[in-house]
Copies of this chain bind each other. A is one copy, B any other.
Amino acid sequence: MSIAVIYGSTRPNSNTELLTEHAIKGHEVERIHLKDYHIKPIVDQRHDADGFDDVNDDYNGIIERVLKHDVLIFATPIYWYSMSATMKLFIDRWSQTMRDENYPGFREKMGKKRVYVVAVGGDDPKIKALPLIQQFQYICDFFGMTFENYVTAKASQPEEIKHNKEAYVRAEQLLNNIKQPS
Q: A41-B35, A41-B89, A126-B149 are in contact. Are A173 and B170 (CB under 8 A)?
A: yes
- Shortest CB distance A99–B (Å): 13
Within 8 A of B (CB), among A80-97: 80-86, 88-89, 91-92, 94-95
Known pairs A42-B10, A84-B92, A89-B85; A131 contacts B135 (CB<8 A) = yes
Interface pair B135/A82, CB less than 8 Å apart: yes
Most chain B beta-carbon contacts within 10 A, residue among A77, A81, A169, A176: A81
The reply on A56 being an interface residue by CB < 8 A is no
Closest to A43 in B: B10
Q: Number of copies of this chain in the oligomer? A: 4
Q: Bound complex: CA of A133 vs CA of B130, how far in Å? A: 9
Q: Is the CB of B80 within 8 A of A139?
A: yes
Sample 28 A-B pairs with CB under 8 A, ordered by A number: A10-B42, A10-B43, A11-B43, A11-B44, A11-B45, A41-B85, A42-B79, A42-B84, A42-B85, A79-B88, A80-B92, A81-B135, A81-B139, A82-B83, A82-B88, A82-B135, A84-B88, A85-B91, A127-B133, A127-B147, A128-B138, A130-B130, A130-B134, A131-B132, A131-B134, A131-B135, A134-B134, A169-B173
